[in-house]
Amino acid sequence: MSAIDYSKPARSKQTRHKSRHIARLSSIPVFGRSKLLSRIQSVAAQSAPGRRYPQMMAFLEVSKWLVPYFRDVFHKNARYRTYPTGESGVFPAGSPSSALRVAVAADWGTGTLESEQVAANIKAGKPHFTLHLGDVYHLGDAQEIEENCLGQTTKNYGGVAWPFGSRGSFALMGNHEMYSGGQGYYERFLPKLGLLHGDGTVKSQQYAGFFCLETEHWILLGLDTGYHSGGIPLLGAIPGVNTIPALNVDARFDDKMLKWLKATMDVVQPKTGAKKTVIVMTHHQPLSSFEQYYTKPAQQLADLGILDGQEFVWLYGHEHRLTIYRKQEVVEGLVAYPRCIGHGGMPVSVSKLRKPDEKVLYYDPRVHAIDVEHPKTKVGYNGHLMLILEGDRLTIEYHDIVKNRVLLTETFRQGPGGELEHTCSKAAERGLKTGR
Ligand SMILES: [Fe+2]
């Protein structure tokens, strides 16, 4: 595909991609992240391109979404999946002759022109592994997994395919996959994921919504916050309500996953000598300077004690923007370098800090017109990360959707006391700002 020209971004109907305008409705406060709106968005996204007022028409076509919506409300969630007997959920990354390259994106599964461009940018980096941190829009059901992740083309739209790494690919589930009960993610997406043969067939499958990718010096933990976030419609979007476990919107780790995590860390973490360094990945954000966030998973991690005395990098999405935070004590005893990377494929939220914020090392305030016909409707810039693992040194490149440019590079290396030595260099002319 040819690169998107952000001085005059094409309309979706010209490119046969799904509508960014429909996707952008998710930015509406409170209602925007709800299961009800996702059902309406899903109907709207299937309507013929070029139709006038697709959002309004979808809303008026009550029969198309009201019955399915109530089915969503009363559906049975897929049973929580763990790894079957004989499968550990630990996947050796292998040791390539040069550095191991792992591409990461979150909130990518929109089927928009931007998601296709980010996929092309990821592919161009020739990753050994690709990781998606969840959210396939708008409901993540079987049809949307096929169209937005597996490249299936329909009458109205060209499909978009998630780029698989040469050695494998893994994915977390987000709240959107759970809005339809999680069956699409478990039954259509997971059978394609895991360690892969050179021809893309699966060598060792990712069976559950969590995984551990292991190297000689690093442990990459993909941990599932999506399953317990689909919950009771609308309530989950109301600030403060996301801490009530009974509503199933607190994004907590399931007890079965915690049991796996404890057992896994007992095995993969050396008993003597230097510990391996950990990268935690979740769909939901453990903190935010811009919107509500989810504290339960961080508390569960601290209670489990697997990261005692060790600093770590925490990558996550759900919030549709790029923010790099300074080292934080996320909850008592848990010290992380949090990085919000939910700018993978959704129209990115406009990011403005209300007041200076010490916690924010860098964020991306840049905006562009959503398309040529709507110059006053502004959104931010999409992108992805490339992790480069070379021995005990991690380099993270933050790639912009525009020309795949690197906006920021940082490195991490574990010191003798479990602390992380960190360096960071920003490309000065490329628009990231500090929170100060
Ligand atoms: Fe999400």
Q: Where are the alpha helices (DSSP H) in 51-135?
A: 54-60, 62-74, 113-124
Domains of the chain: residue spans and CATH: 12-430 (3.60.21.10)
How many A from CA of 284 to the centre of ligand 1? Answer: 7
- Specify whether the CB–CB gap between 163 and 121 falls below 8 A: no
Query: Who contacts 212 (Cβ-Cβ below 8 Å, separation ≥6)?
Result: 89, 90, 91, 219, 220, 221, 222, 264, 268
pLDDT at 238: 64
Reported residue count of the chain is: 436
* pLDDT at residue 62, as a whole number: 62
pLDDT score for 26: 77
Amino acid at 185: Y
CB distance 168 to 25 below 8 Å: no
How many angstroms does the Cα of residue 413 sit away from the middle of ligand 1? 30
pLDDT of residue 143: 94
Tokens encoding 276: 């391996």
Distances (CA, A) of 352 to 142, 158, 344, 348: 36, 34, 19, 12
Coil/strand/helix, residue 196: strand
Cα-to-centroid distance, 432 and ligand 1 (Å):
24
Ligand 1 centroid – CA 226 distance (Å): 8
H or E, element range at 407: strand 406-414
Instruction: Read off the DSSP letter of residue 187.
Output: I
Contact 94, 389 (CB under 8 A): no
127 CA → ligand 1 middle, Å: 24
Q: Give the residues of the chain that fall short of pLDDT 50.
A: none
Residue among 157, 164, 173 at smallest CA distance from 14: 157
* 134 CA from centroid of ligand 1 (Å): 7
User: What integer best gives the mean pLDDT of the chain?
Assistant: 90
Give, in degrees to the nearest 5, the angle at Cα 400 between 378 and 130: 120
* Nearest residue to 107 (alpha-carbon basis) of 347, 295, 272: 347
Residue 137, both tokens: 């829009």
Which residues are near ligand 1, the ion (C-beta closer than 5 Å)? 135, 174-175, 318
The pLDDT score that the predictor gives to residue 265 is 98
Residue 393 Cα to ligand 1 midpoint, Å, equals 30
Single-letter residue type at 242: N
